[in-house]
Amino acid sequence: MSEASGAVPRATLTPADVAIMVIGIVLGFGIFATPALVARYSSDEAAFVSLWLLGGLVTLIGAVCYAELGSARPDAGGEYAFLNEAYGRKVALLFAWARCAVIQPGAIAAAAFVMGDYANTALPLGPYGPSLYALVAIAVFTLVNRVGITPGKLTQRFVEVVVVLALIAIVVSAFATTAPAPGPSTPQETSVAGIGLAMMYILLTYGGWNEAAYLSGELQDAQHNMARALVLGVLVVIAVTLAINLAFLHVLGLEGVRDSDAVGADMMRAVAGDAGATILSVVVILSTLTTLNGLMITGARSYYALGRDVAALRSIGTWKERGSTPANALVLQGAVSAALVVFGAVTRVGFRAMVAYTAPVFWFFMFLVALSLYVFRRREPAATPHYRVPLYPVTPALFALSCLWVLWSSLFHAGWGAVLGVVVLLAGTPLLLLEPTRPSGLTGD
C-alpha cells in the first residue's frame, strides 16, 4: 500500500523499545576493536579512562541535541526531515543520497564483516567465509524486518538482553580473576593530534545513538519520550563501555591493551583460558548482530523518506500497512549493503575500508544537524511544548565543534576510502533536479 492510500508510520514504539535499539546499535563490535588503538594514544591509565569519559560526554551532548530535534518534529525520515526543514530540499536530498548510498549500507557492511570474521573463526568456511556469513546475516535480517517492526524489535530486545547480561558477566569475571597482575605501562607523551585520533576511534565506538531519530515518527508521545529514550540508552552505553574498559585495564594493564590485536579475547583467555576466548567470540557475534539489526531497521526509514518525497523514487516510499514497515526500502537497502560486502570480498579491504568510506560524509552532515538547532530556535516560539536542550546555546555549539573535530580527523587519516565516499556523495547531485511529490516544507506524516 502507498502512503497516499493511508499506510503511514504508526506510533507503536515505547521509550524502552527505542532505548534498547540505541543500546543494541552502539554496543556492537567497536568496544572489542578500538580500545587498543585508544591506548596507543594515552599516556597512562588515567588518560585512557579520561578519554573514554570525554567521548561519553560528547555522546551525551549529541543525544540531548537530537532529543530536542526528534521531540519537536518526529518523523520517520529522522535527520533527513531535520535538514529538509532547516536548510531546504536540496541539502536534504543530498543527505538522503549520502545516507542511502554511503553512510547506512557502509555501516551495515562493516558490522556484517566483523560478525563474519568472528563467525568464520568459530566455524571456518574458507577464505571467503567472512563474506558469506555477512551476506547471510544481511539477507536474514532484511527478511525478518520486512515481515514487520514487531519481529524486528522483539529480535533486538531478546538478543540485546542476552548481550548485556553476557557483558556484565564478563566484566564481573574479569574483576574477580586471579590472573597475574599486569606489568607497568611505558610512559609516553599525549599530543593534541593523538587525542584527536583517539577521540575519532572512541566516537566511532559510541556511534549509532543518532539512529533513534529515525524512530521518532513511531515513538509514542515523542514530545515527552524522545529525551527519555535517548538519554537512557546513551547512559547505559556509557556505563557498560567504561566498565568493559576498566576490566581490560584490570586484567591486561595499559601496555597489554596497547599490544593486543584482540583485546577482549586476550582478556578472557587470561581469565578463563581458551574457553573464555570462545565465549567472548560468541558474545561479539551476538552484539554485532544487534548492531546490524538496529541499523537495518533505522536505515530503511531513510530510503522510505527519500522515496516518499521524490516522485521518481516513489516505489521505495511506500509503507507496508501489515507489519508497519517500509518493505521495499528494506529490500533495496539490503541489496546495496550486500553489494558493498561483495566489493569488500573481491578487493580484500573489508571492515577498515567501510569505516573510511562512511566517516567523513557522516560527520559532515551531523555537523549540519547540530547547527539546525539554532535555525529552529530562531523560527519557533520559546514556549513551544517539547523537550528543549539544556544550556542552550552552548550545548549545540560544543556538539558542532566535536563534529568538526572528528570530520577533520577522518578526512586526514582515513585514506582512499574517505575519498571514495565523498565521490559517491557528489555522484548523487543529479537527484537535486528531480521533482518532489510534495512541497519541501512538508516532512512530517
| pLDDT, mean of residues 155-164 | 77
- 438 in any annotated domain: no
- 30 in any annotated domain: yes
- 97 in any annotated domain: yes
State how far the Cα of 191 lies from the Cα of 170, in Å rounded to an integer: 33
DSSP structure string for 346-412: HHT-HHHHHHHHHHHHHHHHHHHHHHHHHHHHHHS-TT-SS---TTTTHHHHHHHHHHHHHHHHHHH
Domain membership of residue 411 as a residue range: 3-433
Predicted confidence at residue 189, as pLDDT, reads: 61
- 180 in any annotated domain: yes
- 288 in any annotated domain: yes
Q: How many structural domains does the chain have?
A: 1
| Residue with more model confidence, 123 or 394 | 394
State how far the Cα of 429 lies from the Cα of 96, in Å rounded to an integer: 11
- 440 in any annotated domain: no
Which of the residue ranges 30-34, 358-362, 381-385, 424-428 would you say has the lowest mean pLDDT? 381-385
State how far the Cα of 84 lies from the Cα of 440, in Å rounded to an integer: 7
Predicted confidence at residue 376, as pLDDT, reads: 92
- 237 in any annotated domain: yes
* 385 Ramachandran zone, left/alpha/beta (phi>0; psi -120 to 50): beta
Which of the residue ranges 3-12, 306-315, 347-356 would you say has the lowest mean pLDDT? 3-12
Q: Are 52 and 284 in contact (CB under 8 A)?
A: no
Predicted confidence at residue 49, as pLDDT, reads: 94
Predicted confidence at residue 61, as pLDDT, reads: 95
CA 224 to chain centre: 23
pLDDT tens, position by position, 281-338: 888 888 888 888 888 888 888 788 778 777 777 778 777 767 677 888 888 999 989 9
CATH number of 79's domain:
1.20.1740.10
- 441 in any annotated domain: no
Average pLDDT across the chain, whole number: 81
Predicted confidence at residue 371, as pLDDT, reads: 96
